[in-house]
Amino acid sequence: MYFDALLHAAALRAADVEALRFFGVAGALVPSGDGFHPATAGALRDHWLATAAVARSLRARGLPAWAALGIHPRRIPRRGLAERLADLPEHLSRPEVAAIGPAGLEEGGPQEEEVFLAQARLAAELRLPLLVRTAWRARERQVGRLLTLLEEVELEPGRVLVSHADARTLPVIRARGHRALVVMSGRAGVEEAARLVARHGAAGIVLGSDAGDGAGDPLALPRVADRLQRAGLSVAVIKRACLGNALEWLGLEGEALTPPTRAPGSPARG
């Protein structure tokens, strides 16, 4: 079984979901993001509701899924920010929501940092895992800044997952006790993920396909598991990288991946 820790499922068709299940993807995390306009407080609230609805829809189709809800640094509302932060705990209390995020930095600066810290503090208060996103530009510098900011928050390091980890940032992230999300977007994503796990080991590494958004491959998890097996890695290492680490970060047990049963002949909802 595999767990996809970064699945943009709103764009997936029913046939895509069936393929995921057929090839062993047993669960997924559906994050909120920046895919809404304009960046108003009302649009952000609607986006949270839509993201949670996508997770429920996947569950209704037999794929256990959870949402991560947060304020993306590219979609910080100019007005109503305090109201949305006050409302966020209510949205996080939904049974299909398991994490806060993605929260992080884009350009940097006082406002982005304060919004990031507000979400990190909320994760600590609610004892929820935190998904941290990093921008493409100046990633090493930005990861360093984010890790420094996290030192101000009493959040267990293992409940923090830093996205888009690569060969340069992975050792830094793990050295602080955080988990590293290796995103397998683009043609070389699967091969690069396999190289990172083979070289650095599976400890603290979580894998996500980034499918449904850009060049992500919905079957990236089974493909990377195949690459790792052919490279001679043990079943235990592969299971840890492709499943166990994600469940530990989210605080889920394996039983949570048992699909809900439906009465014979009843249609899938969502």
In this predicted structure, the answer to whether residue 247 has a pLDDT above a threshold of 50 is yes
Q: Residue by residue, what is the 3-state secondary structure of 75-136?
A: HCCCCCHHHHHHHHHHHHCCCCEEEEEEEECCCCCHHHHHHHHHHHHHHHHHCCCEEEECCC
Per-residue confidence (pLDDT) for residue 259, from 0 to 100: 74
Does residue 13 lie in a domain region? yes
Residue pLDDT, tens place only, 129-145: 999 999 877 788 999 99
DSSP 8-state code for residue 257: G
Residue pLDDT, tens place only, 134-186: 987 778 899 999 999 999 999 999 999 999 999 999 999 999 999 999 999 87
Residue pLDDT, tens place only, 6-44: 999 988 888 999 999 999 999 999 999 888 889 899 999
Q: If pLDDT is split at 50, 70 and 90, which confidence band does 261 have?
A: low
In this predicted structure, the answer to whether residue 263 has a pLDDT above a threshold of 50 is no
* Cβ atoms < 10 Å from Cβ of 167: 11
Q: Give residue 187's domain range.
A: 2-253
Does residue 268 lie in a domain region? no
Q: Where are the beta strands (DSSP E) in 113-247?
A: 130-133, 160-162, 179-183, 205-208
Residue pLDDT, tens place only, 83-109: 999 999 999 999 999 999 999 999 889
Per-residue confidence (pLDDT) for residue 270, from 0 to 100: 40
- Residue 110 buriedness (CB in 10 A; 0-12 / 13-18 / 19+): exposed
The mean of the pLDDT values for the chain is 92
Q: Tell me the CATH number at 175.
A: 3.20.20.140
Does residue 233 lie in a domain region? yes
Per-residue confidence (pLDDT) for residue 215, from 0 to 100: 67
How far is 197 from 126, CA to CA, in rounded Å?
31
Instruction: Return the percentage of the chain with pLDDT > 90, whole number.
Output: 81
Per-residue confidence (pLDDT) for residue 269, from 0 to 100: 42
In this predicted structure, the answer to whether residue 262 has a pLDDT above a threshold of 60 is no
Does residue 244 lie in a domain region? yes
- The residue with greater pLDDT, 235 or 270, is 235
Query: Once rounded to an integer, what is the mean pLDDT over residues 118-135?
Result: 96
Tally of domains in the chain: 1
- Residue 264 buriedness (CB in 10 A; 0-12 / 13-18 / 19+): exposed
CA atoms within 13 A on the CB side of 174: 20
In this predicted structure, the answer to whether residue 267 has a pLDDT above a threshold of 80 is no
Per-residue confidence (pLDDT) for residue 84, from 0 to 100: 95
pTM value? 0.93
Amino acid occupying residue 221: L
How far is 50 from 46, CA to CA, in rounded Å?
6
How far is 163 from 117, CA to CA, in rounded Å?
17
Does residue 259 lie in a domain region? no
Per-residue confidence (pLDDT) for residue 214, from 0 to 100: 65
Per-residue confidence (pLDDT) for residue 264, from 0 to 100: 45
Residue pLDDT, tens place only, 46-87: 999 999 999 999 999 999 999 999 999 999 999 999 999 999
Instruction: Return the percentage of the chain with pLDDT > 70, whole number.
Output: 95
In this predicted structure, the answer to whether residue 265 has a pLDDT above a threshold of 80 is no
Does residue 124 lie in a domain region? yes
Does residue 264 lie in a domain region? no
- Is the sign of the CA dihedral 192, 181, 42, 110 positive or negative? negative
Does residue 28 lie in a domain region? yes
